[in-house]
Amino acid sequence: MPPWLPWVLAGVVSGALFLVPRALLVLSASPLLLATRGRNQGHLLKGALVGLGLVTGASLFGWSWSGGVANSAQLYLLLGALPAALLHPVIRVRRGAIRQLGKATVTWLVVVLGLWMATSTGQPAVSRAASAVGGVFDGFVASSRSRADDIASQEAVEEFERRREVVVPWLTRLLPALIAVVGLLGMWINVVYVRWFAGGTEEREEDLCRFKLPFGLIWVVLASMAALLVQLLLPSGAPWVWGAGPILAANALLILGALYWLQGVAVVNWWFLRLPLTPVPRALGIGAQAVAMAIPVFSLAYLVTGLSDVWLDLRSRSGDDGVTSRNGARR
C-alpha cells in the first residue's frame, strides 16, 4: 500500500461525513484519527487538507449544507480538523481519558471563542450570531432543496424555510449551548468510537464506560424544565418571556441533555464491551451504534438510558471486574 493512501482516504471520508447534514458530521474527525493513530500529526494534517479540499469543492457547486466556500471551509476546520488535532494524543490514553477529553474540549471552546472575538468587526454579538445562524440556515435549505427529488420533500423544505423567522431567533438564543454541545459531543464520540472500533481496549470496564454525572445535576434539569414551562404558560407579552431566565434555562437544559446523552452512551457500551464477542462482530456493533446516533429514536433512547441511570444505577452489577482478551474471551 502506498504510504500516502491512508491519509488520502481518511481525508475523503472525513469530508464526505461533514457534507452529510445530520448528526454524522460530528464524526468527521474519526477517519483522520483512525488513519493516523500511532503516526505523527503530519499525516493527520495532510488528510485534513484533503477533506478541506473536498468540502470546499462541494460548496463551489452548491452541494454543501453550510453555505458558501468560506463558511464551509471554516466550519470543517472547526468541526473536523481541529478536533482531530486535539484528540490525536488522547486516542492512546488508557487512564484518565475523561480528564484528557475535558481539556481537549475546553481548548476547542477557547479556540472557537478566540476566533469569534478576533473576527469581530464591532457589530453587536447578538447581530453577528443571528447573521451566522441565518447563513447556515439558508445554506441548509438550499442544500436540502437541491436534493429534494419528490413533491413531498420539496413541500417539507418549503415549510421549513417559511419558519425561518422562528427558527433563526431560537437558534441564536441557544447558540452558546449549541457550540458547547457540538464541541462536547464531537470530542467524546470521536474518541469513544475510534478507540473502541480500533479494538485497542483490553479492560472490560474501560474508564469512559464509567462516566456518570453527579446526582445533584438532575435537579438543575428539573428546574430548567420548570422555568421553560412557566414561560409557555405566561402571556406572550409578559416580561419573563425570552428574558435572561428562560434563555439561561434553555441553554442549561441543552448542555445537560447532551451530558446525560453521553451517560447513556457510557451505560450501553459498559454492557456491550462485556459481551463475549470476537473483534469483527464487536467492531460491527460499535459501527452500528455510530450510525444509530443519526436516527432520532435511537438518539432519544441514549438520553432516556442516561437519565434512567441517575435513579436506577444501571451499571451496579458487582463481581464482574475482570478483563477480556482481544477476542472477547474472559480471563
- Domain span holding position 227: 199-331
Does residue 135 lie in a domain region?
no
Give the per-residue pLDDT at 273.
82
94, 194, 184, 123 alpha-carbon torsion, rounded to 10°: 130
Give the per-residue pLDDT at 251.
92
Give the per-residue pLDDT at 165.
84
Does residue 36 lie in a domain region?
no
Give the per-residue pLDDT at 223.
92
Does residue 152 lie in a domain region?
no
Taking the C-alpha atoms of residue 190 and residue 206, their distance in angstroms, rounded to an integer, is: 16
- Which residues, given as ranges, of the chain have pLDDT below 70? 1, 21-23, 38, 66-67, 94, 120-123, 125, 148, 197-206, 234-243, 317-331
Does residue 322 lie in a domain region?
yes
Taking the C-alpha atoms of residue 187 and residue 88, their distance in angstroms, rounded to an integer, is: 11
Does residue 51 lie in a domain region?
no
Give the per-residue pLDDT at 242.
55
Give the per-residue pLDDT at 302.
93
Q: How many domains does the chain have?
A: 1
Give the per-residue pLDDT at 166.
81
Beta bridge partners, 326, equal: none
Give the per-residue pLDDT at 2.
80
State pTM to two decimals: 0.76
296 CB burial (10 A radius; 0-12, 13-18, 19+): exposed
Give the per-residue pLDDT at 120.
66
Does residue 306 lie in a domain region?
yes
